[in-house]
Each structure stands twice: as C-alpha cells, then as structure tokens.
Structure 1
Amino acid sequence: MIVSFISLGCDKNRVNTEQMMALCLQSGMTVQEDCAGSDVVVVNTCGFIDSAKLEAIETILSVAELKAAGRVGKILVTGCLSQRYQAELLEELPEVDGIMGTGSYGDIVSAVEQVAAGQKFSHFADISGPVEELPRVISTPMHYAYLRIAEGCSNRCAYCIIPALRGKYRSRRMEDILTEAKALSDSGVKECIVIAQDITRYGIDLYKEKKLPELLRELCKLDFHWIRLHYLYPDSITDALIDTIASEPKICKYMDIPIQHCNDTILQAMRRRETNAGLHQLFTKLRSRIPGLVLRTTVITGLPYEDEAAFEELCDFLQEEKIQRAGAFPYSPEEGTPAAKMLNRVDSDEAQSRAELVMQLQSQVMDAFNDTRLGTTLEVLCDGFDPQAMAYVGRSYAESPGIDGVIYFTADRDVQSGQFVSVRITGTMDGDLTGEVIETEE
C-alpha cells in the first residue's frame, strides 16, 4: 500500500507526522512524498486560528480534486482541525474518508488500512492521556531535527484553543527524550531544536519541579553542535535556566519567548501572568547574563481592550527593547475561548493593519541588528545551495529554520549541507545577510 503525508501548521505537528510515517513504514507500507499515485493521503492539519483552518480546508479540497480525477485513492484527515470539528468534517467534506484526533496518532496503521478497504474511519482518543512514545522518521534535512519534550498546554490563555485541541500539559519522561535524542545525534543531526507549547514547564507534572535545566545539561552531553530552544514562557524562566543557557556552549544564545502583548490590562484579560514592567526586567536580566543573546517573540494585535493607547504602548515596547526577531499576528476570535466572548473588540481589518504596522517597525529593528553584523565572522550551518541566488544558504545561531532570515554565502570549494563554515558577513539583502567563506570546519 502506498501512503503519502501532508503536514500543516507548526513543527510540533511535524513531529506527529514523522511518527505516523514511521509506523506506516514499520507495517510494510510504502511512504512517498508525492500525493499522486497514493492509495491513501493523510493530511495532518492545524486548526489553531482562522488562517490555519482555511489552509487545512483548501489543502483537503486540493487532494479531493486528485481523488476525483482518480489520481489518489482515499483521504484521511488527522490533527487539530479534525479534533476541533469532529462532527462537521465528515458531514461537510464528504470527500474525506476518515478522521482521527490528536490523541490517536498511534492508530494510524489501522486507520489507513480501514480507509483503504472502503470503511469510514473515525477515532478520537483521550487528548490528555500519557504521551505515547512512538518511533519517527526525520522529514527535515538530516542535519537538524525537532525534539518534542512535552505535549499539550495547561496555561489556558484566554485567546488560545490549544488546550482543547491538545489536552493538558504532559511532559515526556526524561529517559525517553534522551533515548530519542541519542538516536538523532547518532544519525548525524547537528542542530537539535527542543520544542513544546511551553518548554519552561517541562517536568512540573511528572517530577513536581521544573526540570528543563537538567534535561538541557544531559542533551549537551550528546554529539549535537547546537541546541536551540522553542518556546519559553516569560513567567517561568528561572535563574537556574538562565545559568544553564549561559554556561553551556552547545545551547544557542537564542530564546524564543512569546509575550503576545505588553499592556497590563490586556495581559490580565488574556490570563497572562506577566506585566509590562516584569517583561522589561526579564529582558534586561537575560541580556546582562547571556552575552550575545538574540531574542525572538510573537505579538498579537487587535486583542480585546487594545485601544489606540495600548497599541502605541506595544509599538513603543518593541522599539525600546529592540527584540531582534518578532512576528505579529492579527487577533482571531476562536470559538470556545473566553476571549471570543469579550467585548471591546477591535475591527478585524484594523487588527490586520496594526499587525502590518508592527512588522514595518520591527523590520527597522531587524535591519539595524543586521547592520551590526557587517564585517563580523559568523559560524554558519549550511542548509544547501540556492540555484536561484547562485550561492550557498545557511544560518548562524541567530536564525532558526523556517522563521528567521538566512545567510547567503559564496565559497571557493564545495560546502556540504550540514557542514559548519566560518562566513565573513559582507552585506545585507532584503533582511537577509550575504557573505563569503573564509575557513571551513566540520
């Protein structure tokens, strides 16, 4: 049987796709990249916000066109969209042959077999049950991979539907994480990207204390070159964690800390546990104790209670803090969340306009950061060769794959994907950097 997978949304979702692929391969199925010619196409969806839901539905409909043309057999939908709209999916999208929830990834083989046999399949397990330890294959380039250390979220921010889609926060056992990490390092992974909805709370449920510093120190004993951290919640960043990041050379001095906003009224309404003053203090502390630190964050514009003054406060905050990496997203009222029932809403067009304005302001911060790197020599991980740019492309510790800029560079000799090289930065180009190899190292 031939199966293909489409993974949408975040890299946490990607890991689930990789697990399903591994289970299908172990069962003797053939997994191929191209949908055409597949007996079953599995679409692992995101259902977090309106834009993600729209992308998921459009993807399903595009696969349905292939099905109608006889180029694919059956369609199986998994992930957050199916978890969120269990009843509606099969009714409103009759092209779909089966659905599974976010607690059922381990059932992928039986689901594919039943769907391929012409049976309608619908299965939703407990989304707050223990994290199921599953094998996985790597779908990223072999030199970097994501390591998921926990599932779900218990923060229950007022605007977020994630706990209803992924369940309560559940840490994986440290020994299971380290076994998987050892397999990744043994396979040649150079950059291990530690992910969860909130990695700062790792261990609090299993061990009754935050264990991220200990886990990171154990990961640093493995044969990784870089260890990158996504996502750290500001209210749970401890001195022990800061000391670990500062003292371990393998840990990238790069912290992804989603703040969402800085106005105290909005933060309180959103059930965030930070304050404007506290965020300023945190960033000051981090920069003083971790030299060379690069910060990434995300903010939401148009949240309930965001009047003009609150929006100006957000813009002032970002310009004052000069966070090098940031994304801004317009607020999407999600049914089933407390925020969706709040008054004092901002018009959706205005929310979008504010997000665009934030990104315009933020581009100036990022350009200024890039200017400070001109003439410096950076350690760069090569991601491959870009034939359109006629240059190699890679990243320093300051760029996470897929969300930040890249570094285009030239070299007098071949540079392999996954190789670390020293690049002298000579210019900037549309938010990216350009440079030339002055020395190559493994």
Structure 2
Amino acid sequence: MSSKVGIVSLGCPKNQVDAEMLLFTLKSKGFELVNDPADADAVIVNTCGFIESAKQESINEIIELGKLKQEGKIKAIIVTGCLAERYKNEITRQLYEVDAALGIGANSQIADVVAELLSDNTEHKEKIEEFPDKQLLCLEGRRIQSTPPYTAYLKIAEGCDNRCTYCAIPMIRGKFRSRQPDAVVEEAEQLAKDGVKEIIVIAQDTTRYGEDLFGEPYLAKLLKRLCKIDGLKWIRVLYCYPDRLTDELIDTFAEEEKIVNYIDLPLQHCDGNILKRMNRHGNRESLTALLNKLRAKVPDMILRSTFITGFPGETDEQFEELAEFAAEIKFQRLGCFAYSAEEGTPAASFPDQIDDEIKQHRADIIMEHQQSVMAEYCESLIGKEIEVLVEGYDRIAECFYGRTYADAPEIDGCVFFTANGTKPQPGSFVKVKIIDYTDCDPIGELAE
C-alpha cells in the first residue's frame, strides 16, 4: 500500500506553484496525495518566511501538526519553502516536531526524503537537513494544479534583484532568473488545453522579466504571445514594479483584450525620502504622473497597491502625505502593512525605528479610509451589467458567487448573485446586473 502525503502551502502564489511541483514529484514516485493532513503519513509544510506574521503562521501550523504527530496520526513532518531556506538548521533545532528541513534548492529531493522518513528503519534516525544552492530550485517541470480547474498561476521568474532595504526575499530566494519565453508559453498552452480560462502571471517582479535573458524588459512581448493562446479568456498580471512600467507595457494592456485591466503595483510609499531609504525610486509627483498616464491609456484600469507604514524614520508629515496620496489616487484595491523589521535586512539596523503601536495605528488609518474608497467603487457598479467568472454556490447565503476582472483570487472580494432557472457552472462566464453591495462585495442577479 502506498504511503499518503499531504501538503500545507502557506504564503504567496509563487510558493503555491512550488508546492504544485512538489505534489507532481510525489505522485510520480507513487505516493498517494491526501487533502487532509490528519489522513497523511507524512505532511509537508511549504512555509512563508517573508515577514513576522507570515513566519508566525508557518510556526503555528507546524506546532498544530506536531499535536497530530504526538497522537500517532502522522509519522513525519517536513518543512520546505522560505522559512526553511531562511533559517536552515534552526528549524529542526527549535521545532522538535520537525523531522526534515529542506531549502528551496532541495525541492527535487522531496520524494527521497519522504521515502526515507517513512521507511521501516526510522527508529534512531537523525533529522534530515538539506540546503543546497538555492539556484538549484527547478523553474521547469510539471505540476498538479491546486487552484480551481479554470484558474492557474503562471510563474515566469524566480528570485529578486531589487534589493529593497526592508525585504528579505533576495536573501531567501536568490537572484532574479527568468524562464525562457518558449517554456512559459508551452506551459500556458497546456494549461489552456486542460481547461484553464484565467492565468495569473506572477514573479517577485514580473516587470523585470527577460532583462537577464535579453538585456531589456520582455514582459510585453511575452504577454502578446500568451494572448494568442486559444481557450484563455483572462490574463492577469501581478507584482509589477513602477520603475519598469514602460510605455510598451502600458500599450499592451490597452491593446490586448485578453489582458484584464487590473494591475498590481506594490508602491510601498510616496514620499521621496522614504522611498530612497527603501532603495526604491520616485516620489509622490512622479508616481501620480505614472498612475494618471496609466488611467488615461486604460480608462477602466483597476489599481491595486500595497503600502508600508512606520518605516524607520517616517515622520507624521510623511505619513500624512501617504494618506493624502491614497485618498487622491483612490486605489480600488489596497493593502497596508505595518513595517516589519526583518533580521539581515539593512532597514532592520536603521536608527529611528518606530513604535509598533504607532506603525499599526497608521496602517489602520489608511485601511479605514480605504473602506470608503471601495464602497464608492461598489456604488459605481449599481445598475451596471458586469462579466463574472462563476466560482460556486454559497449554501448559507443561498446564492452564487464569482469574480469580476477587478478581483484577483484570494486577494480581493467576490460578487454574490442570484440566478433563477439555469444554474451557472463554476468556470463559466456570465453577465450579472449589480443591485447593491455588502462589506464592499457587490450583490446582483443573473442578467437575462
């Protein structure tokens, strides 16, 4: 009887793609995959180690699984992903529940490690620790989709060269490396053949794609190739960098019907001095000009961004400027995070660190105002018919739900709608007339 393996994948979609490749490797080696960790012989925790809250979530998950192990329900716990890569041997030393810790360069060894941990001669076995060069993380390979069958992530690069002073990603994931365009297109074609209708293009910085291969940005050219694939209806782009939002890329958004008018631009701040200390470029004036240009060329563009409040040295005036900027631009989608001092990053040793309560209070102020911006956006939809990708039926609310082009999965909200007669199927696209909204989620009815 084959051993059963479960995976808990935490953090970003980029990590989720790595987990999907791990799943394929395990299945191809004869392991049975199970959804519920309590049913597994071995559980892999594919961790996030980006900021303090993400690290804590990973640790809490390991501790909870440790209880199942104590009860004899599971035999082995393996930690992979960013936390393992970042803290290496500390994982097995500080978390006694863990049987193996693998850096990202060891992902290809996953089946061998699971087999060893579940073999009969495990009585006095030492814990397994493998941390080869992170560049050995394979960018190509088959995967088992963990997203709904109509939506998939498409990872086009790994690592990061931006070196923002607050960010541990270059330290964890290594230098930026693009996949070859032919390989990306081939994977997207296969996804479309398998029934995927929406692909979400991801990398640590999608707009840097191709610079290491061709000496110039190549994302616009790649997107044009993806748009030619039959079967794909929506192509969504996440994690863009403002400095690399070229006219060619903006024109591609404007011209290509399949690219949804939704862009994720994590700006982090608008004050020129704060951005300089973050090792980022621009200021309020240049960013406002860029966003105005984007909206002029693509009038119904949905802008998503993230801000950091309480970066070392942020004054009350600089925070107020950020709050004014958010109010002026009216990002339809916005996340705001209190600065997290990450060991090993330059910003962690900057003077003028700000009190946790102040950092969080500032983030709360921006998110409170964001509620009114999102409510205003929902108001603007009332009376309109909008296209919705159906995702399912909510038995408690007794209605269907889905996403518009303005909603990325797991990040943004949903549209809830009723349908008389025909029951729309998950993965289908329907027109919904919006009549109201609740908690910034539009409510409507299936259009005739």
TM range (shorter): over 0.9
Letter in 2 for 1:97: D
Instruction: Return the match for 1:411 from 401, 419, 435.
Output: 419
**Pairing 1:24–2:26 present:** yes
1:427 lines up with 2:436 in the alignment: yes
Question: Which digits, 9 at most, give the CA deviation of each residue in 1:133-180, with x for residues without a partner?
Answer: 121011011110100000000000000000011001000111111111
The question of whether the paired residues in 1 share the 8 Å contact of 2:150 and 2:427 is answered with yes
Query: Segments of 4+ in structure 1 off by > 2 A?
Result: 117-120, 128-132
Residue of structure 2 equivalent to 1:247: 255
**2:314 is the alignment partner of 1:313:** no
**Rounded Cα–Cα distance in structure 2 between residues aligned with 1:373 and 1:267:** 35
1:153-302 map, 5 Å = 153-222=160-229, 223-302=231-310
Aligned twin of 1:2:
4
2:338 aligned with 1:336, yes or no?
A: no
**Unaligned 5+ residue runs, structure 1?**
none
- 2:385 aligned to which of 358, 377, 388: 377
1:347 correspondence with 2:349: no
- Alpha-carbon separation, structure 2, partners of 1:261 and 1:249: 31
The amino acid of 2:447's aligned partner reads I
Mapped partners of 1:169, 1:51: distance in 2: 25
Q: CA deviation at 1:129?
A: 4.7
1:84 to 80, 83, 86: 86
* Residue 70, structure 1, aligned to residue 72, structure 2: yes
Structure 1 equivalent of residue 57 of structure 2: 55
Find the residue that maps to 2:306 and give its secondary structure: strand
2: CA distance, partners of 1:113 / 1:64: 19
Q: Distance in 1 between matches of 2:138 and 2:206?
A: 15
For the 8 Å contact 1:232–1:257, the answer to whether it is kept is yes
**8 A contact 2:106–2:137 mirrored in 1:** no
Contact 1:114 1:121 in 2 (8 A): no
Normalising by structure 2, report the TM-score.
0.97
Structure 2 Cα separation of the partners of residues 369 and 18 of structure 1: 35
The SS at the match of 2:39 is: coil
> For the structure 1 residues 146 and 330, does the alpha-carbon distance in structure 2 shift closer, same or farther, using more than 3 Å as the test?
same
Checking the alignment, whether the CA contact within 8 Å between 1:131 and 1:171 is kept in structure 2 is no
What TM-score, normalized by structure 1, do the two folds share? 0.98
Number of aligned positions between the proteins: 439
Pick from 143, 160, 167: which aligns with 2:150?
143
Question: 1:256 & 1:40 partners in 2: Cα distance?
Answer: 36
2:39 aligned partner, one-letter code: G
Report the alpha carbon displacement of residue 115 of structure 1 after superposing the two structures with TM: 2.1
Give the conservation status (yes or no) of the 8 Å contact 2:104–2:137: no
C-alpha distance in 2 between matches for 1:227 and 1:111 = 37
Q: Which residue is equivalent to 1:134?
A: 141
Tell me the distance in 1 between the aligned counterparts of 2:357 and 2:272: 24
Cα pair distance change 1:401/1:130, threshold 3 Å: closer
Letter in 1 for 2:265: I
The answer (yes or no) to whether the contact 1:411–1:436 under 8 Å persists in 2 is yes
CA distance in 2, matches of 1:374, 1:195: 32
Instruction: Kindly state the Cα deviation for residue 385 of structure 1 after the two structures are TM-superposed.
Output: 0.6
Counterpart position of 2:37: 35
Q: Is the 2:89–2:129 contact (alpha carbons within 8 Å) kept by the matching residues of 1?
A: no
8 Å contact 2:272–2:281 — kept in the other structure? no
SS in 2 for 1:96: coil
Task: Report if aligned partners of 1:131, 1:172 keep a CA contact under 8 Å in 2.
Answer: no
Q: What amino acid maps onto 2:374 in structure 1? A: M
Does 2:373 correspond to 1:365?
Answer: yes
State how far apart, in whole Å, the 1-side matches of 2:248 and 2:139 are.
29
SS of 1:103's equivalent in the other structure is: helix
Which range is displaced more, 48-57 or 110-119? 110-119
Identity %: 46
Name stretches of at least 5 consecutive residues in structure 2 with no aligned partner: none
* Structure 1 Cα separation of the partners of residues 148 and 136 of structure 2: 31
